[in-house]
């Protein structure tokens, strides 16, 4: 494969874009080389500016769950475009999408649309504080909740990739009410409650996709919810990644745990910038104009994004691809493990439905510390070999792979071939 045009665009992009990208993980910092520039996509495939075609396991980091440019989504968006792009006023489609979202989450009576997952989390945390009258929030090490100051500590995602413990420009005062616990360790949460009496709630990725698909062990989430209820604190579920992807009702439906506040994004926009936060009536009545918690957005409920979300979720519900996802995910997991054994390469795979991630380690990965035992040099080699063999992966050890319902049996066979070739190359690193 040649990447001449991507290399040229990278150099050109450096002039007016920071690192030639608009999101750090796209810079390929942890895997080396120049970032790829994408020209188009359709179904399960994505094509770069050099004409190289890949099976896409990034899927815009999750939103393209029914594949790229699905005809029903394109039709819905095209219809909306004919009426206008933005009005700064309410539209019928906001009501339609709100009903779909609320119906999917039994404890969600009302929802407020925003423009991104980060916005959803900012508002969800503010809402928890408004409802409880308390200030402190507990988050888990390795969980990424967007780039807001108060939660940009001990984060995963791109921060983990860049080995950054936080971010410059975040004042100490911004994080003074943020407490850090260890994922899958309830005692670490209880210790904070023993030390503080002003904890509003705990925010958590039910499935930690930003440290590489880390799954709650045993009854961790249920026990966490029960404990928080006993303390009068709220459980805030960051389902920006898992909402409608793990199950139509999110990871909560699959795991049998109901959050007090749910934050959503990605899939609900069908590829357009959308976020949302929702809860039962007594909590959402705190939000303006009903209550004293102020939150607003000029482009919130954008008509084009609403149309994309309605079309995506309607088609997703019709397809109900979750059994298919589990089958395909299990197949790819088995291929990864068996191939690694074949070439004597240390590898563990974490998977949850249509999300999976291989770690180049012998250590079971149940928290951020264990995730960091993965050999990132091996991952970088593996990444580029997968690229060269036609599979587009997230350029970070700590980002989940995603599946779409557009993936075919032929795609799976080609992924298997690519994995074999890539791990063979990785195995040769052990001999150097």
Domain segments of the chain as ranges = 4-65+321-429, 71-319
- What pLDDT is attached to residue 218? 84
The owner of tokens 């264990």 is: 370
Residue 376's nearest CA partner among 361, 389, 394, 355 is 361
* Angle at the Cα of 328 from the Cα atoms of 427 and 204, rounded to 5 degrees: 85
- Lowest mean per-residue pLDDT among 7-11, 154-158, 195-199: 154-158
Q: Is the pLDDT of residue 166 over 70?
A: no
Separation of alpha carbons 411 and 45, rounded Å: 9
> Given this chain, do its domains 4-65+321-429 and 71-319 carry the same CATH topology?
no
- What pLDDT is attached to residue 157? 42
Is the domain spanning 4-65+321-429 CATH 3.40.228.10? The answer is no
Say if CB 45 and CB 54 are below 8 A apart.
Answer: yes
pLDDT tier at 246 (50, 70, 90 boundaries)?
A: confident
Q: Which of 225, 266, 375, 378 is catalytic?
A: 266
Q: Is the pLDDT of residue 209 over 90?
A: no
Instruction: Identify any residues that bridge with 237 across adjacent strands, giving them in sequence order.
Output: 204, 262
The torsion of the CA quartet 100, 106, 109, 112, rounded to 10 degrees, works out to: -50
When pLDDT is averaged across residues 243-255 and rounded to a whole number, the result is 91
CATH of domain 71-319: 3.40.640.10
* Angle at the Cα of 363 from the Cα atoms of 183 and 186, rounded to 5 degrees: 20
pLDDT tier at 149 (50, 70, 90 boundaries)?
A: low
When pLDDT is averaged across residues 199-221 and rounded to a whole number, the result is 90
When pLDDT is averaged across residues 158-176 and rounded to a whole number, the result is 56
Q: What is the pLDDT of residues 395-409, one digit of tens each?
A: 999 899 999 999 999
Q: Is the pLDDT of residue 76 over 90?
A: yes
Structure tokens at 107: 């404890």
For the beta sheet containing 355-359, the strands, ordered from the edge strand earlier in sequence to the opposite edge, are 348-352, 355-359, 401-402
The torsion of the CA quartet 62, 63, 67, 69, rounded to 10 degrees, works out to: -140
- What pLDDT is attached to residue 369? 87
Q: Which of 238, 260, 375, 411 is catalytic?
A: 238
> Which DSSP letter does residue 207 get?
S
When pLDDT is averaged across residues 262-287 and rounded to a whole number, the result is 97
Which H helix or E strand runs over 352?
A: strand 348-352
Contacts of 233 (CB under 8 A, 6+ apart): 132, 134, 193, 199, 200, 201, 202
Separation of alpha carbons 246 and 99, rounded Å: 20
85 a catalytic residue:
no
Q: Is the pLDDT of residue 367 over 90?
A: no
179 vs 422, residue with greater confidence: 422
Q: Which of 10, 54, 144, 322 is catalytic?
A: 144
Residue 270's nearest CA partner among 241, 308, 303, 239 is 308
- What pLDDT is attached to residue 411? 98
Q: Is the pLDDT of residue 80 over 60?
A: yes
Assess whether the previous peptide bond of 289 is cis (omega < 30° from 0). Answer: yes
Say if CB 180 and CB 140 are below 8 A apart.
Answer: yes
The owner of tokens 């994309």 is: 308
- What pLDDT is attached to residue 269? 95
Residue 62's nearest CA partner among 336, 267, 339 is 267
378 a catalytic residue:
no
> Which DSSP letter does residue 431 get?
T
- What pLDDT is attached to residue 106? 87
144 a catalytic residue:
yes
C-alpha distance from residue 33 to each of 164, 284, 396 (Å): 20, 46, 13
Say if CB 375 and CB 361 are below 8 A apart.
Answer: yes
Q: Is the pLDDT of residue 159 over 80?
A: no
List strand residue ranges (DSSP E) for 156-298, in order: 178-181, 199-204, 234-238, 261-265, 275-279
Q: What is the pLDDT of residues 28-64, one digit of tens each?
A: 988 999 999 999 999 999 999 999 999 999 999 999 9
- What pLDDT is attached to residue 210? 80
> DSSP H helical segments within 206-302, as ranges?
220-231, 250-255, 281-284
Residue 306's nearest CA partner among 109, 124, 58, 84 is 84
Q: Is the pLDDT of residue 164 over 70?
A: no
Instruction: Identify any residues that bridge with 431 across adjacent strands, giving them in sequence order.
Output: none
The owner of tokens 């898992």 is: 242
Structure tokens at 367: 């928290």
When pLDDT is averaged across residues 255-275 and rounded to a whole number, the result is 95
- What pLDDT is attached to residue 167? 59
């Amino acid at each position: 494969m040649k990447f001449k045009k991507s290399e040229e665009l990278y150099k050109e992009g450096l002039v007016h874009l920071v690192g030639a990208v608009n999101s750090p993980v796209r810079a390929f910092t942890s895997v080396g080389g120049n970032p790829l520039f994408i020209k188009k996509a359709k179904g399960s495939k994505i094509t770069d500016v050099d004409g190289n075609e890949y099976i896409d396991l990034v899927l815009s980091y999750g939103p393209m769950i029914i594949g790229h440019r699905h005809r029903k989504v394109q039709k819905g968006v095209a219809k909306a475009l004919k009426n206008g792009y933005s009005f700064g006023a309410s539209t019928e489609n906001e009501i339609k999408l709100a009903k779909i979202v609320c119906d999917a989450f039994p404890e969600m009576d009302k929802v407020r649309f925003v423009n991104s997952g980060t916005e959803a989390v900012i508002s969800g945390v503010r809402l928890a504080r408004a409802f409880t009258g308390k200030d402190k929030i507990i988050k888990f090490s390795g969980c990424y909740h967007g780039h807001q100051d108060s939660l940009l500590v001990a984060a995963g995602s791109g921060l983990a990739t860049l080995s950054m413990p936080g971010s410059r420009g975040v004042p100490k005062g911004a994080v003074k009410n943020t407490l850090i616990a260890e994922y899958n360790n309830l005692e670490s949460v209880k210790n904070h409650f023993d030390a503080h009496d002003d904890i509003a709630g705990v925010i958590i990725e039910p499935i930690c996709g930003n440290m590489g698909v880390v799954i709650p062990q045993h009854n961790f989430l249920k026990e966490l919810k029960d404990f928080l209820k006993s303390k009068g604190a709220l459980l805030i579920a960051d389902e920006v990644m898992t909402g409608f992807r793990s199950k139509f009702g999110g990871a909560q439906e699959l795991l049998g745990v109901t959050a007090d506040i749910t934050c959503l994004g990605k899939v609900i926009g069908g590829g357009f910038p959308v976020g949302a936060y929702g809860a039962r009536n007594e909590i959402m009545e705190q939000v303006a104009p009903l209550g004293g918690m102020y939150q607003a957005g000029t482009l919130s409920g954008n008509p084009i994004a609403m149309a994309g979300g309605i079309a995506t979720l309607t088609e997703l519900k019709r397809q109900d691809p979750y059994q298919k996802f589990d089958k395909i995910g299990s197949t790819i997991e088995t291929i990864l493990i068996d191939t690694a054994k074949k070439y004597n390469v240390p590898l563990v795979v974490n998977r949850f439905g249509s999300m999976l991630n291989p770690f180049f380690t012998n250590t079971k990965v149940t928290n951020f510390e264990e995730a960091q035992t993965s050999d990132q040099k091996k991952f970088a080699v593996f990444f580029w070999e997968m690229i060269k063999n036609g599979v587009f992966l997230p350029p970070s050890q700590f980002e989940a792979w995603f599946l779409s319902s557009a993936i075919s049996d032929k795609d799976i066979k080609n992924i298997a071939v690519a994995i074999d070739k890539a791990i063979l190359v990785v195995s040769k690193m052990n001999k150097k």
